[in-house]
């Protein structure tokens, strides 16, 4: 039997608070910060792409630990 467990992690891309016109990403699990970008990105898409790579890594670690 297969049991589906939803991923508790969320990726969020937001405008940078430190550098106007740039974007940061963060990953949370159940509302708690797990990881965030070290640098800001020039576009929302670039930030999302970098965050997605980190999101996949965090998710893979979470799945292997279950």
32 in a structural domain: yes
66 in a structural domain: no
Could you read off the pLDDT of 6-22 as tens digits, one per residue?
A: 889 999 999 999 999 99
pLDDT value of residue 4: 67
Q: Is the pLDDT confidence value at 65 over 80?
A: no
Q: State which residues form the domain around 25.
A: 8-42
pLDDT value of residue 42: 97
Residue by residue, DSSP assigns 18-40 as SSTT-EEEEEEETTEEEEE-SS-
16 in a structural domain: yes
Structural domains counted in the chain: 1
35 in a structural domain: yes
pLDDT value of residue 7: 86
Average pLDDT on 22-41 reads: 96
Band of pLDDT at residue 54, cut at 50, 70 and 90: very high
């Amino acid at each position: 039997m297969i049991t589906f467990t939803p991923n508790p992690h969320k990726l969020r891309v937001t405008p940078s608070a430190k550098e106007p016109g740039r974007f940061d990403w963060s990953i949370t699990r159940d509302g708690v910060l797990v990881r965030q970008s070290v640098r800001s990105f020039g576009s929302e898409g670039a930030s999302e792409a970098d965050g997605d790579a980190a999101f996949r890594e965090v998710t893979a670690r979470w799945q292997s630990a279950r």
